[in-house]
Structure 1
Amino acid sequence: MSKKLIFLIALGFISYSNAQDKAEQALQNFEQKYPQEKIHLLFNKSSYVAGENLWFKSFVFDGYNRSTISSNLFVELYDRNKTPISKTIFPLYNGEGSGSLSLPETLKEDVYYIRAYTTWMANFNEDFQLIQPIAVYNPSSNEKLVSDTTSPWTATVFPESGTFIDGINTKFAVRLQSNGITPSDWNGYVIDSENPDVKIASFKGFDQNVGAFSLTPKSGRRYQLIVQDDKGIKQNIDLPTISASGINLQVKSKTNAITYSIKSKNYQHSSYKVLGTINNQLVYKAQIHNLSNEAVYSIPTDKLVNGILQLTVFDDKEQVVAKRLCFVQPESLKINKPSVQYTSLNDTPHEANTFTIAKNPSYSSYSVVVLDGESQDAEEERSLLSTLWLTGDITSKIYTPAQYFAKNHNAEALDALLISEKWKRFDWNTLISGSYPAIKYTPESYLSYKGKISGQPSGSSDLNFISKTDQDSGTKLYQVSTDASGNFTFNNLIFEGTMKFFYQLSGKQKTSHPVNAYVQPSYAFIPYKSNLPAGGFQLVERPSNDPLPTEVAKAVETKNFQKSLNEKTNTIEEIILKGQRKDDKRKLNQQLSSSLFRSNNEEIFDFVNDNKALVAGSNILQFLEGRVAGFRLQMQNGSYVPILRGGVTPIFLNEVKIDPSLVTNISVADVAMIKVIKDYFSGAGPGGGVQAIAIYTRQGGDIKLSEEELKLLPGLKYITLNGYDKEAVFNNAVYENVSLKNIAKDTRTTLYWNPYLETKANEPTTVKFYNNDDTKSHTLLVIGFDENDTPLYYHETRP
């Protein structure tokens, strides 16, 4: 369960009877048992050509925090007919992961769709899964993609809180939708059907999504809205029928408070209940006895997070009478921003540029992308912030949602947009009736398999699996137990590609009868049932000698450049580029620690590959003091107690919790790795933990088989299991390499890509990237999360 950053505010609260508490009780049950995940994919660029690789960094959230629910991310590629082209699976560590998709050379030019989801998300509405259209160009195709500017648009009107009542001034949102591109320049006005020549109210659209106006209706009148674009295309929309009675909820979101008023006419109950929810969690509750049209109520925002607040008004029968969405503090976004300093910046072809990110011990890694400043930027269309705070919870099509959280964003436009939306994560009436989602799929523990053996002795058995890869001379032993029928589970595996697992019964359980193991994955790709959305493009016949758009021409040249770059760098003995391939330390971490002891915020001390070894007789905990920010030793009852960030830190030896006093009994010569965990990890037991010191001995992970034992492995039976899909290596061109002097034309739009840029707590983080042939400006994107999951976000273009 994610950390809670929002608090219940109760105003005018008086105890309710059990019947009147149904809504709160139902919501609490839903929020605790049915957490909701959402996904953002950061792409290395916005469009592609057939034959390229597509790289992405994945962020999976549980509400507004990185999710610890799922450990696997499923990513699929479809054509416009929903025919699957590829299906891949990648691991998640504390809600983050990365991967790549290969776009076949044979793909015809068209719009394709990336689907991303977790197994847990498949229990809920498919509309909340990520479906991302991407344009894939192929100059050899007979048809080409063009923006769809001809599909008709439609306008819909939405009265604030859903009611339109005689004599109550009401704010309306006007929403545009289209299978193609909606107009950016449009306006509208309201007329009375009895006097059509007089404009009662008029407005200009805020953007391609929404506009707004206000109107005080009079009973018996019929109002009509006329909307027109800059091409003169018009639509006439009838406003809702005016009600003689009802309630209208009016909301204003300000920096210090959200204020609301409840206007009523000919509608009176003994009391009303107002509930406010953020991310399916109750954050506000009030009871109003004497309803007044002049009363204004205030919800302080100092204890609320940025996000969508749903205010709902119930009558004394606990029936919903009005509801409204608004955004908390739209003009005061709680985003951390790193201090970025360019130490060298130029526009000379192939020259190096260097910048630093100021040291900050709250961050163990960043996702960093540098783009040619003149190229298209996928984050300008859909940003991490817009996914986190808007589109991850709103299922309708929104054009360029990133604009609502960019510099100089229009808070009034965002408010109008939310008037036109409904919260679809749950429905109050459904919850109160006791109807909840049916849970069919449970999250896996990374790669999980179920199997059965035949030929075992009677009763349960222990089965040993020994893994060995061609790339790694190390071996690892796993032991699983079978039931009396020979069934077993094989969980918590993390490996790429395929791997052989040799197996045999353990110890005295060996039998002269042949033992055969049959294994199949416990996880599965889940079919997508919904229709794919419109992609915003049309296919038209490609004329002969048709010139390629600049962006497409660059992409074709970049594909050739990357091919030449890979061929040249593959001939170099040491081509491991910093931050792109797993170094020895990361490999050791994967060998020794299980996924339960993985965290996005961890500091690793490697005594296998690093010359800096522990000195015999030294104290392991004293070694960490002065090397780990916020760590100190405190003497308690004659023993040292580790303190990290003000709290006593548990110690694990080979992932078994031990008393701090036992650390001195560990032979430092046997220590292979020490890991200081500073964020959530699940290995601490029920509910997980947020910090730990994990000590691994040289016998803690790998096992060393004798030469005789290694010779016996080929004689054992084995199974071959499919692991995670391999992520292609992203080759950042390093022009200091002399072999790159005579290379194809460099038109790269992505100048630097690093989904996991590791930081050092006590010094700035340095990034070096190289220009293409004609770079004049750079767009820099830096994303990170601190221990409280507050987003760090930097998105700037510099000349």
Structure 2
Amino acid sequence: MYRRLGLAFAAVLLLAVSAFRLPADDGVFQRIVKSLVSFYGTSLPEKAYLHLDRPFYASGETVWFKAYVVEADSHRPDTLSKVLYVDLLSPRQRVVAQRTLRLSGGLAHGDLALPDTLATGTYRLRAYTSLDAQRQPGLLLYPGPGHRPNCCPTRPRPGGERPHRPAVFPEGGNLVEELESEVGFKAVDGQGHGVALQGTVLDEQGQPVASLNTRHGGMGSFRLTPAPGQRYRAVVVLPGGGKAEYPLPTSQPTGYTLHVSETADDFVVVLRRRMAAGAAPAGPALLMAQVRGSVAFAAQAPLTGTAPITAMLPKAKFVPGLAHITLFDEQGTAQCERLVFVPNPPGIRLTLAPDKPSYATREAVRLKLTATDAAGQPVAGAFSVAVSAPSSAFADGPTIASHLLLSSDLAGPVEDPGYYFREPQTPEIRQALNDLLLTQGWRRFVWKELLAGQLPSREFALEQGLSVSGQVLTAAGTPAGGRQVAYLQTNPTREAQMQTDASGRFLFRGLDGLDTTHVMLRAPSKKGEEALRIRLPAPPPAQAQPNALLAATAFSTALGEYARRSAQQQAQARSAKLSQGKTIALEEVSVRGARPRVVADGAMRPYSNANAVVLQVKDDVVNDSKTLIQYLAGRVAGVVVTGSTVNIRQASTLQNQSGGSFLIEPLFLIDGAIVSGEAFAAYPLKEIQTIDVMNQSAAGLFGSQAYGGVIAAYSRQGKDGPAKDPKAAFVGSRGGFLSFQMPGYYRAREFYAPRYEAAAPVQGPDPRLSTLYWLPEVRTDARGQAQLSFFAADAVGTFQATAEGVTTQGTPMRGTATFVVRKALAK
């Protein structure tokens, strides 16, 4: 069912000179196209985007989200992957919560309840499948009730620290002597955010040859014609008033240049080449333009001198997104590259229309959603709708269009991605977008590697259901092929075995329908061999900084008001829950209980010291090859170890019907999870920090299954705290053993949206102050429409409805509408 192997190709020739011609069938062009096909057919890249109900949250609130996973080349949502992971990362880039979602047609929705103990900061949501890893831009968490309202995160003040070197990027790739080039540059502070600079480009004699001034996001460009043998430097004035000098790249004596400008209908490409004196004429160069593997233009032309050759590339022949324009020499080596952006056609629209401009509190609100294509015809698609209080401070945040068409195909984060999609598209916005594409490179592949046959390998198996996959490696890190891997899970108990393939990989399928369960993997080593290692797929690396931090002056007022509203909302929600149904007032009571015991390993225990004998495993056992059962032998009075079995005297003997006695195995636990006696006996000691042994008295805590006593081991990684990331590499993988929690599919909650009927009595306070409405599943009908209705709450003011989604043909769409809620007049 790997069906993404086709490549759309249409040779487009609308040229300003007659020098261009169709590519000759000489193998160079065919090799390039074949490499593109192989890349998308082998790597099967995907993109993931999360639509959130609002841009920032307070601790104690809930994040509602809709996930859209699309094929990276076509943007169609019918993806091969059926499992999506959504992680919440703390400001220190630790996973503090995770959701595992079942994808249906590339779609899923869920929610994250934020603990009220989360610290203030910028958290990050990332969504990814096993095939591709994309990250959602930053999620700003504002302090909830009880926190100081002025402790919000701020961008470092410009001038407070020396910015990084204003990185310089000659258009096409290189500066060539005596050939004019457009040069892009970007100035950032220590946090990676653009800063405003101005300065001058000087030659070796100190003469100014160009001036530079940043525009949006600390980016800008200037024109430069390098003189032979000259070196250039930029002298800039820093935001704090100081000065700094930065050298420009050295120009080359020979080479190619490529310059792209645009008109309303075309991309205008100008090519030049400077050859060494007396050099023999070279073969024709190849100019090719493609968008995510779809070739829109390809033609050959000789470049034998510095005289420019111009090509007109009609925009109508490009699909929306980032177009990759490349100039290849006669050998098929990429010499110049340039990115340009192709927006959605103007006619593509997603509109939201409320039936009234304003409503009274608790009045019914009706919205009509309409999706049309470039020709104004209705289109089918999947959408999600959120209605919340608007915030101008985050108006330029990410959207589904900015992510799929722009950010996801660029290297590194894009600051204020929504800015480039503002309507109307002014010359200033188009210039800022040009600066961005001059300074930020395409991220999916490198031509040199691709044409050399170095295709990206898929680290682990495609997930079309819950599964456990990984790789077994030797102690030296080489693949261990043909090795046995044992799988054991609890709740319910399941055991399986399989052999690794030649690359050491394994895959246990058929885990759908499970709740979160404890899983252990074991790969025994051969006699005399060092312990093997088990590797699980690693999650995508966390980006160091979010994309959308704003200066404190830009959002302090908005977040201060938001914190106040959040505190009010949560107080009303608690009050509403208490008022639902009957309540009974109790006299003062005293409740006593035993606090869960915590020992040196930091793990929480439901029993006290009197219940257990505790063995502390010393830290010097890291290189010990003993197993748990070998360590237990002879260490605890009353514990008898015979071969691979363990019995606890006075807790494990029962009589049978004939009067004889037989032994009952104790209950075995590792990090609180029940495991089989065989798995417990083989568990490596080096993984364990403490072992608790309890006799039959433990049956009061663990039930009849503990009639033979309990032996509970706690690993060095089993401390109470944030859940382990089940996709992390080498988690607990020592001695050929791996232990982790395998999450089941998350069951999304339903957004609370009360209905107020005219004849019904007035209910308690409505706690919806931030998000009035969230509907993650909206489908358009044959007319391209969908009808939505909900009731306003007690909150008054302006609210914004935002719809996002993607059509069945892969077009990302977004629409907004605003309306006002006013206080209802007393009857």
- The interval holding the TM-score normalised by the smaller chain is 0.5 to 0.7
Counterpart residue number, 2:140: 134
The answer to whether 1:367 aligns with 2:390 is no
Q: Which moved more, 1:313-322 or 1:753-762?
A: 753-762
Q: Does structure 2 retain, via aligned residues, the 8 Å contact 1:6–1:303?
A: no
Among candidates 389, 398, 403, match of residue 382 of structure 1: 398
Structure 1 contact 167–216 (Cα < 8 Å) conserved: yes
| Count of residue pairs the alignment pairs up | 586
Q: 1:402 is paired with a residue of what secondary structure?
A: helix
- What's the CA shift for 1:447? 3.3
SS at structure 2 position matched to 1:431:
helix
Helix, strand or coil: the match of 1:164?
coil
Alignment of 1:608-627 (within 5 A): none
1:723 aligns with 2:744: yes
Deviation for aligned residue 1:4: 7.4
Q: Which amino acid aligns with 1:156?
A: A
Q: The residue matched to 1:551 in structure 2 has which SS?
A: helix
Contact map agreement 2:798 2:818 (CA 8 A) in 1:
yes
Maintained 8 Å contact 1:7/1:303 = no
Say whether the 8 Å CA contact 2:286–2:330 is kept in structure 1. Answer: yes
The answer for the alignment partner of 2:453 in structure 1 is 434
| Aligned-partner SS, 2:335 | strand
| Deviation, structure 1 residue 318 | 2.3
**Structure-to-structure mapping, 1:317-466, within 5 angstroms:** 317-328=331-342, 330=343, 333=345, 336-346=348-358, 348-358=360-370, 362-363=379-380, 365-374=382-391, 380-409=396-425, 410-448=429-467
- 1:724 positional shift: 1.0
Task: Find the residue that maps to 1:436 and give its secondary structure.
Answer: coil
Equivalent of 2:153, from 132, 139, 146?
146
1:41–1:58 Cα contact (<8 Å) kept:
yes
CA distance in 2, matches of 1:130, 1:358: 27
- Larger of the two Rg values belongs to structure: 2
Tell me by how many angstroms 1:338 deviates.
Answer: 3.6
1:265-286 alpha-carbon deviations (Å, 9 max, x no partner):
2255222122222114444322
Determine the structure 1 residue equivalent to 2:120: 109
Give the gaps of 5 or more residues in structure 1.
123-127, 451-468, 470-480, 500-521, 541-545, 572-719
In 2, the alpha carbon distance for the partners of 1:356 and 1:346 equals 15
Partner of 1:787: 808
- Distance in 1 (CA, whole Å) between partners of 2:203 and 2:152 is 44
Q: Classify 1:240/1:539 alpha carbon distance in 2 versus 1 (closer, same or farther; 3 Å).
A: closer
Question: Which residue among 8, 11, 15 is the counterpart of 1:9?
Answer: 11
Q: Shift in Å at residue 358 of structure 1?
A: 4.6
User: Equivalent of 1:176, from 179, 184, 187?
Assistant: 187
- Structure 1 residues 351 and 531: alpha-carbon distance in aligned structure 2, compared to 1, 3 A threshold: closer
TM-score normalized with structure 1 length:
0.65
Deviations 1:325-374 (A, max 9, x none): 1112x4x6466214543322315444333232358863264311222235
Classify the secondary structure of the residue corresponding to 1:148. coil
Deviation (angstroms), 1:526:
3.5
Distance 1:341 1:19, change over 3 A: closer
User: Are residue 239 (structure 1) and residue 248 (structure 2) matched?
Assistant: yes
Matches of 1:340 and 1:112, distance apart in 2: 30
Which residue is 2:84 aligned to?
A: 73
Counterparts in 2 of 1:369 and 1:482: CA distance versus 1, 3 Å: same
Tell me if the contact between 2:85 and 2:129 (Cα under 8 Å) persists in the aligned partners.
yes
- How many percent identity over aligned positions? 22
Alpha-carbon offset, residue 133 of structure 1? 4.5
- How far did residue 75 of structure 1 move? 1.0
2:760 paired with 1:748: no
CA distance in 1 between partners of 2:814 and 2:126 (Å): 25
Give the match for residue 38 of structure 2.
29
Aligned partners of 1:554 and 1:747 also within 8 Å: no
Corresponding residue of 2:57: 48
Question: Aligned partners of 1:732, 1:252: CA distance in 2, in Å?
Answer: 51
Contact persistence 1:211–1:413 (CA under 8 A): yes
Shift of 1:33: 1.9
Q: Whole-Å Cα distance in 1 between the matches of residues 48 and 761 of structure 2?
A: 38
Report Cα offsets for 1:618-649 as digits up to 9, x if no partner: xxxxxxxxxxxxxxxxxxxxxxxxxxxxxxxx
Residues 371-396 of structure 1 show CA distances to partners (whole Å, capped at 9, x for unaligned) of 2235765x731111110111111131
TM score, norm. by length of structure 2: 0.63
CA distance in 2, matches of 1:772, 1:569: 17
Deviations 1:133-188 (A, max 9, x none): 43342454589332123364332221111221222221111213335474665444
User: Retained in 2: the 8 A contact 1:50–1:106?
Assistant: yes
Structure 2 distance, partners of 1:99, 1:256, is 42
Quick one: distance in 2 between partners of 1:488 and 1:180?
41
Preserved contact between residue 365 and residue 759 of structure 1 (Cα < 8 Å) = yes
Work out whether residues 147 and 538 of structure 1, in 8 Å CA contact, stay in contact via their aligned partners in 2.
yes
Q: Deviations over 1:710-769 (max 9, x none)?
A: xxxxxxxxxx99631121221134444888946457562222211112444469533234
Deviation for aligned residue 1:117: 0.8
The equivalent residue for 2:102 is: 91
State how far apart, in whole Å, the 2-side matches of 1:414 and 1:188 are: 21
- For 1:267-286, what aligned pairs fall within 5 Å after superposition? 269-286=282-299
C-alpha distance in 2, partners of 1:411/1:59?
Answer: 28
Cα distance in 2, alignment partners of residues 88 and 448 from structure 1: 15
Q: Distance in 2 between matches of 1:443 and 1:156?
A: 38
* Mapped contact 1:157–1:174 kept (Cα < 8 A): yes
Indicate conservation of the 8 Å contact 1:404/1:411, yes or no.
Answer: yes
Going from structure 1 to structure 2, the CA distance change for 1:77 and 1:252 (only over 3 Å counts) comes to same
Partner Cα distance (2:353, 2:286) in 1:
52
Q: What is the deviation of 1:68?
A: 1.3
Using a 3 Å threshold, how does the CA distance of structure 1 residues 399 and 498 change in structure 2: closer, same or farther? closer
Look up the SS of the partner of 1:387 in the other structure: helix
Change (3 A) 1:17 1:764: closer
Q: Is contact 1:359–1:761 with CA below 8 Å preserved after alignment?
A: no
The verdict on how the C-alpha distance between 1:538 and 1:282 changes in structure 2, with shifts beyond 3 A counting, is: closer
- Asked if the contact 2:515/2:744 (under 8 Å) is kept, the reply is yes
Give the distance between the partners of 2:442 and 2:66, measured in 1 at CA.
28
CA distance in 1, matches of 2:247, 2:291: 33
2:231 touches 2:248 (CA, 8 Å); kept in 1?
yes
Task: Give the whole-Å Cα distance in 2 for the aligned partners of 1:219 and 1:58.
Answer: 54
- d(CA) in 2 for partners of 1:373, 1:404: 19
Residues 235, 273 of structure 1: alpha-carbon distance in 2 compared, 3 angstrom cutoff: same
2: CA distance, partners of 1:173 / 1:405? 21
1:305 shift after superposition:
0.7
Provide closer, same or farther for how the CA distance between residues 291 and 133 of structure 1 changes in structure 2, counting only shifts above 3 A. Answer: farther
Deviations 1:270-326 (A, max 9, x none): 221222221144443222124462321122222321111111212222222211111
- Structure-2 separation of matches of 1:3 and 1:33: 8
- Aligned partners of 1:367 and 1:754 also within 8 Å: yes
C-alpha distance in 2 between matches for 1:784 and 1:778 = 20
**Are the counterparts in 1 of residues 802 and 814 from structure 2 also a CA contact under 8 Å?**
yes
Q: What is the aligned partner in structure 1 of residue 300 from structure 2? A: 287
CA-atom RMSD, angstroms?
4.1
